[in-house]
A and B are shown apart, each in its own frame.
Chain A
């Protein structure tokens, strides 16, 4: 039973990650691979506030999200000028820089050794120690953020974002402030993935920079691409595939050393097949044109 809870918690965390990335890729058409860096900023900020300064669960989480949101300027300002391949290059650069900072700023982040002993969430005197209670807490948070995402799609903000995705010049010409919109979208998405990072840190109680590398960003991107973009259903499907694929592969009785490779192999194949057969992803609505 605990194992099932564990899977559900991971699904909830990855659902938040996928939904926030979908805000950029699916609603905004801004393909990027720096998402794991912001996940990391959220996780590190919250973890440092909790362990070093003894802050409460929610204040730490909020400041982590805020830090990720502010630092999202690193990618959103370049987004004013760059598109497509060049923007992807910029986001790779940002991802590498933030990763290098997390890895090398040993005084603050403890470098490659990471931060350990992060406490489980505490709210109003009640401590979420069992996996069951964490499942509920994270489930409530993920559902709340999911509802925000669903509402956002049909809000003026979401519609403006989608208009910008489909034709930036036309959107600009009818008075949509595209640059300001990009700043907002990145800040929102980064803050959201920052929350996911904080939740992750609190659940596993130990973080180190390798969880926030370029490879992780690529994995997040594939999750969203496979699941689908442009609605809320798509990223949720992507997160479910990410969680369920290893479980499905378990039936093949692969040795442990090989299982991880087979999982990634399946991911790569799915990416190619998706681009050929179903560019909008399993449950998505938006496709690149």
Chain B
């Protein structure tokens, strides 16, 4: 039970990153590796702003805001021009890789390569039904879960959310119907960066961080997206939760050293045997991409 809950909490974070990745991938077909850099930046900004003397909540808001700006900037400077030129997926991927490297190395140059922690002192723990959980371990995922749920409500309720979902289904039709795709893309990249940075803050609060955690996190988000399916926004979240639970079980019953291997074997199996993901609903042939 303890293992399951640990995995579940981890999984919520993977799920959020998966949703952030899928948000961009589904709507723009951009393989958003730079998301790893954006996420890695957030905890460093929090550390610096707290050192300046701001309260923690304000530091977090500021960090998420900066992440959103950075996300939008990356689209404006890199991916939007490429999409206009109709560049193939490979160009987006390589440029995104470049952006990731630039962000991470800037972080390393400014704050150093060492692992750092946000937490100060020993955490409060709660024990419920023989399950012991630390405060940071629970609060981070819960806040991330709230952010994700808010995003889903917005996606399904607001007009803008409807437009984003339309963008995922058929971008050309969206622009033909008079919607400004460029503005919509800013929303997509901004929201994705916000969600990723919130998840990153939660991870950083619980286990600490260094400049290079981003790539691993994005790849996990990518696996979550494939497991959950690229056909919906909720799929990647559930995929992430599943992945988190599974990884926790692997660590418990096998060995932590095979964690990554199991994750990526899963990715391969899914791509081969169920590329639409577990939670795919049936679509008409002309609907599916």
Residues of A in contact with B (beta carbons under 8 Å apart) = 31, 78, 81-82, 84-86, 88-90, 92-94, 96-97, 100-101, 103-104, 214, 218, 221-222, 225, 258, 261-262, 264-265, 267-272, 275-276, 279, 288-289
Question: Are A275 and B95 in contact, CB atoms less than 8 angstroms apart?
Answer: yes
A-B contact pairs, 25 of them (CB 8 A): A31-B90, A81-B272, A89-B267, A90-B268, A93-B265, A93-B267, A96-B264, A100-B258, A218-B101, A221-B97, A222-B98, A261-B105, A261-B108, A262-B105, A265-B102, A265-B109, A267-B101, A268-B98, A271-B95, A272-B78, A275-B78, A275-B91, A275-B94, A275-B95, A288-B87
Which A residues are CB-close (under 8 A) to B81? 276
Question: Are B260 and A264 in contact, CB atoms less than 8 angstroms apart?
Answer: no
Question: Are A100 and B99 in contact, CB atoms less than 8 angstroms apart?
Answer: no
Question: Are A270 and B31 in contact, CB atoms less than 8 angstroms apart?
Answer: no
Which B residues are CB-close (under 8 A) to A262? 105, 109
Question: Are B93 and A218 in contact, CB atoms less than 8 angstroms apart?
Answer: no
Q: How many A-B contacts if CB must be within 8 Å? A: 113
Question: Are B90 and A82 in contact, CB atoms less than 8 angstroms apart?
Answer: no
Question: Are B102 and A269 in contact, CB atoms less than 8 angstroms apart?
Answer: yes
Which residue of B is nearest A81, CB measured?
A: B272
Write out, one digit per residue, whether chain B residues 211-239 have a CB within 8 A of any chain A CB (1) or not (0): 00001000100100010000000000000
Given contacts A268-B105, A272-B95, contact A93 B257 (CB under 8 A): no
The answer for the CA separation of A121 and B265 in the assembled complex, in Å, is: 37
Question: Are A269 and B98 in contact, CB atoms less than 8 angstroms apart?
Answer: yes
- Mostly, the B contact residues are helix
Which B residues are CB-close (under 8 A) to A271? 94-95, 97-98, 101
Question: Are B98 and A270 in contact, CB atoms less than 8 angstroms apart?
Answer: yes
Given contacts A100-B260, A276-B81, contact A268 B101 (CB under 8 A): yes
Q: What 7 A-B pairs come out closest when comparing CB atoms?
A: A271-B98, A268-B101, A268-B102, A265-B105, A100-B261, A93-B264, A272-B98
Which residue of B is nearest A88, CB measured?
A: B93
The answer for the CA separation of A96 and B207 in the assembled complex, in Å, is: 23
Which B residues are CB-close (under 8 A) to A269? 98, 102
